Amino acid sequence: MRQADIPEAAVARLAKLLLERIGLRPATEAQIGLRLALRARLEALGCEDPYAYVEWLEGGNEVELRALLPLVTVGKTDFFRDSNQFRALRAQVFPELIMLARQEMRPVRIWSAGCATGEEPYSLAMLAAELGVEPQGIDLLATDVNPVAVERARAGRFGARRFATVSEHLVRRFFEADHDSFVARPELQAYVRFEVHNLAGTCFPRPRDGGCWDAILCRNVIIYFDRPTTSRAIGRFFDGLREGGYLCLGYSESLYRISGAFELVELEGSFLYRKPVARPLVMSEPRPSLEDTVARLRKAVDEHRKRAMTPPGPPPAVLAPKLAAPEKPASSRAPELDVANPLQQVARLLEGGEFEAALLTLDKALVQFSGSLALLITRGNLLTVMGRQKEARQVYRDALTMEPLCAEAHLFLGIACYEAGGELDGEAAQELSRAIFLDPSLGLAHYYAGRTAERQADFASARRAYRNAVNVCQGKSSWTPLLGHFPDLPSDPGVIARAAGYALAGLEEL
């Protein structure tokens, strides 16, 4: 079936389905991407009727919806997408990889896995060229499951609006104008080789020289996979990387519930995964892991709650400045931003009970690192702790505008809507449903979905959600961290399993 044969109404119904089921709102200019995705799935299934296919999805076929999702975002990629991560690549990662490759007398080995229409690999190629690497000095492989997207990427032709994030200098150096488009010059195309590859398959590519990859970029791809497929892909990434090699994921993606084999490092305000080395890494200073930061944040929140529950009495001197003091309390000052480690700085402030200062610091950090989803969600969670629920809900909505497929943002927004006392139960149910679709292992989402359904007197749905919460949480000894932190999370997942069990027992009598 040709792309032109797909009716506009079928595309519109598909867009409506994506919005309702997972909160993904394709932009008007992304309609061509929806058509490409729809055509690819129709051809793969041997189906001639796009309306029948969309009706199949509307009937609740989650397996096929997951197969469609990786193709839907063909039109969403940009040059130098996630400026924080590219800042880290330019300032630290690429110089390190280039120096090592030259010492070992070999090319730098980079794999762009899930390259869509090519903006990411061409961005990497421009970065390498700007740092003095010749085409023969880098093995840059770009792959995607969609053969149509790969052909477009190989052609190197992009509409003018794609260059909003590209400096005029780079456009002049690496592209030629052709009517209303720009075409990658042959010298830029020489840096990249394109191939069709399915990350859900069993065979993973290797560099030309048979070695291991120095870095793999797989951004905004694994979020579409189910858990087993993601685990297999991440395991093969780990095997394919050299010791000390980097894995770059999208800012809404995390390995917390997938793999503990990688180290998590913060570079230039961006988080990257690194394969550990047998020997100690030489670093200017040790960087605490994000897991440590989350634990410190949670400990600080616990201390804050303990102080709040202390019987009335004379407050500690540190929390009771004299009325005559001309300066503001320490908690309202905005300290200098630690650009290298903003989350660590927030943790230190929370440990000291300086919640207002922590909030001001997050606001500063978000000006500096506007694309950081982790910082934005942390801000929403901090507002929740401070009792500013309406503001927190808006922050979660902002996070979903940035990345509609972030399961944690849907979860936190759903809980925040539920806590509104019933007036937002419709939105709560919708957001919790989206979180569960994106990550069925979120026991907390199942539990709150049950509470929401029970309050709406939908007892059948409540029973089903509570059973799912019990199944997900039972037998777990500890939670795996989420993106951001959730201060009310019980220390033992068994607490949620038992609460869901009690609620289920009560509903069995209805």
Quick check: is 284 in a domain? no
User: Tell me, what CATH number does 132's domain have?
Assistant: 3.40.50.150
Q: Is the pLDDT of residue 321 over 80?
A: no
Task: For residue 461, give its domain range.
Answer: 389-510
DSSP track, 246-301: EEEE-TT---TTT-SSSEEEEETTEEEEE---SSPP--SS----HHHHHHHHHHHH
Q: Given 75, 109, 131, which residue is the final one in a domain?
A: 75
End-to-end CA distance of the chain: 52
145 closest CA partner among 66, 209, 236: 66
Q: Are 203 and 266 contained in the same domain?
A: yes
Q: Given 39, 55, 75, which residue is the final one in a domain?
A: 75
Name the pLDDT band for 328 (thresholds 50, 70, 90).
Answer: very low
Matching residue, tokens 């130098």: 80
Mean pLDDT calculated for residue range 297-326: 43
More confident residue, 321 or 457: 457
Cite the DSSP H helix spans in 46-167: 50-58, 62-72, 83-88, 94-103, 119-130, 147-155
Quick check: is 321 in a domain? no
Q: What is the 3-state secondary structure (H, E, C) of 351-382?
A: HCCCHHHHHHHHHHHHHHCCCCHHHHHHHHHH
Rounded CA gap, 118 and 175, in Å?
14
Rounded CA gap, 140 and 157, in Å?
19
More confident residue, 170 or 475: 170
At residue 318, the pLDDT reads 33
486: DSSP letter: -
Token pair in block for residue 224: 């579409």
Q: Are 244 and 347 contained in the same domain?
A: no
Mean pLDDT calculated for residue range 144-162: 87
Sorted by sequence, the CB contacts under 8 Å of residue 252 that are 6+ apart come out as 220, 223, 373, 403, 405, 406, 409, 483
At residue 218, the pLDDT reads 94
Q: Are 200 and 210 contained in the same domain?
A: yes
Q: Is the pLDDT of residue 432 over 90?
A: yes
Torsion, CA 404, CA 409, CA 411, CA 414, rounded to 10: -90
Angle at 421 between CA 417 and CA 424, to 5 degrees: 40
Q: Is the pLDDT of residue 54 over 50?
A: yes
User: Tell me, what CATH number does 433's domain have?
Assistant: 1.25.40.10
At residue 504, the pLDDT reads 85
Q: Are 354 and 418 contained in the same domain?
A: no
Q: What is the pLDDT of residues 398-419, one digit of tens each?
A: 888 877 777 888 999 999 999 8
Token pair in block for residue 412: 């936190």
Q: What percentage of the chain reaches a pLDDT higher than 70?
A: 80
Q: How many CB atoms are closer than 10 A to CB 23?
A: 22
At residue 133, the pLDDT reads 95
Matching residue, tokens 């869509």: 116
Q: Is the pLDDT of residue 315 over 60?
A: no
Name the pLDDT band for 373 (thresholds 50, 70, 90).
Answer: confident
Q: What is the pLDDT of residues 171-226, one digit of tens each?
A: 999 999 998 899 999 999 999 999 988 887 778 899 999 899 999 999 988 776 76
CA distances from 71 to 383, 418, 494 (A): 36, 33, 38
More confident residue, 506 or 451: 451
Q: How many CB atoms are closer than 10 A to CB 90?
A: 15
Work out the mean pLDDT of the chain and round it to a whole number. Answer: 81
Q: What percentage of the chain reaches a pLDDT higher than 90?
A: 35
> In 3-state terms, what secondary structure has residue 128?
helix
Rounded CA gap, 144 and 156, in Å?
15
Q: Are 34 and 173 contained in the same domain?
A: no
Q: Are 448 and 339 contained in the same domain?
A: no
Judged by average pLDDT, the poorest of 17-31, 55-69, 465-479 is 17-31
CA distances from 25 to 34, 40, 78, 380 (A): 11, 20, 17, 22
> In 3-state terms, what secondary structure has residue 340?
coil
More confident residue, 260 or 323: 260
Q: What is the pLDDT of residues 446-482, one digit of tens each?
A: 999 999 999 999 999 999 999 999 988 887 655 555 6
Query: How many structural domains does the chain have?
Result: 4
Q: Is the pLDDT of residue 288 over 80?
A: no
Q: Is the pLDDT of residue 96 over 90?
A: yes
Quick check: is 435 in a domain? yes
Q: How many CB atoms are closer than 10 A to CB 31?
A: 16
Label the pairing between strands 263-267 and 270-274. antiparallel
> In 3-state terms, what secondary structure has residue 52?
helix
User: Tell me, what CATH number does 46's domain have?
Assistant: 1.10.155
Q: Do 137 and 244 meet the contact criterion of CB atoms below 8 Å apart?
A: no
Q: Are 94 and 70 contained in the same domain?
A: no
Quick check: is 280 in a domain? no
220: DSSP letter: S
Quick check: is 279 in a domain? no
Q: Are 462 and 493 contained in the same domain?
A: yes
Q: Are 103 and 181 contained in the same domain?
A: yes
Torsion, CA 9, CA 11, CA 12, CA 13, rounded to 10: 90
Tell me which H or E stretch contains 445. Answer: helix 443-455
Sorted by sequence, the CB contacts under 8 Å of residue 249 that are 6+ apart come out as 218, 219, 222, 255, 273
Q: Do 443 and 497 meet the contact criterion of CB atoms below 8 Å apart?
A: yes
Q: How many CB atoms are closer than 10 A to CB 372?
A: 24
Quick check: is 345 in a domain? yes
Rounded CA gap, 112 and 85, in Å?
14
Q: Are 217 and 93 contained in the same domain?
A: yes
More confident residue, 278 or 505: 505
- Residue 141 pairs with which residues in a beta bridge? 111, 193
Burial classification of residue 153, based on how many CB atoms lie within 10 Å of its CB (0-12 exposed, 13-18 middle, 19 or more buried): buried
CA distances from 130 to 95, 124, 134, 135, 187 (A): 11, 10, 10, 12, 13
- Residue 274 pairs with which residues in a beta bridge? 246, 263
Q: Given 75, 102, 117, which residue is the final one in a domain?
A: 75
Q: Are 158 and 260 contained in the same domain?
A: yes
Q: Do 380 and 399 meet the contact criterion of CB atoms below 8 Å apart?
A: yes
Q: Are 407 and 449 contained in the same domain?
A: yes
Quick check: is 92 in a domain? yes
Quick check: is 379 in a domain? no
Mean pLDDT calculated for residue range 294-305: 54
Rounded CA gap, 496 and 468, in Å?
11
